[in-house]
Homo-oligomer: A and B are copies of this chain.
Amino acid sequence: MWLTVDPRSSTPMYQQIIADVKERIAKDILAPGSRLPSIRELAVDMTINPNTIAKAYQELEREGVIEVVRGKGTFVTEKREGPSPAASAADLRELLTKVLVEAHHKGVAFADVSRELEDLILHWSGSATDE
């Protein structure tokens, strides 16, 4: 199965699809320019409604992650331009703050979070040097 999703999760299925595709692209499992399964294909494969896939694809296109060619299919965007660097920094900071808050309430030392991040980066997409 190309993609799986948990229908009983609290996070909507279309958002799970979005997150999954973005993660594969970030890990270079989905290379830029490569083609994604068609909406109907995926719908049959995942046994969910085509509209749900369409919603995910539309959001991904809106974010510039994929590109759509009418009548042909959807493809991973070749070249990306980063949004405003300032906005990126703010968003990143917000995400990392959430991580530290969660770590605190789980009793995980901040140093361990730092170590974990380093480790993740090191083994990203099977020891590939991303970014």
Contact = CB atoms under 8 A, between A and B. Distances in A.
Interface of A: 19, 22-23, 25-26, 63, 65, 80-83, 88-89, 91-93, 95-114, 116-118, 120-121, 124, 130-131
Which DSSP category, helix, strand, loop or mixed, fits chain A's interface?
Answer: helix
Contact of A88 (B25, B107, B110, B121): B107
Contacts of A83: 106-107
Nearest to A64: B105
Given A110-B121, A110-B131, A99 B100 contact: no
A95 B92 contact: no
B120 A106 contact: no
A26 B100 CA distance: 8
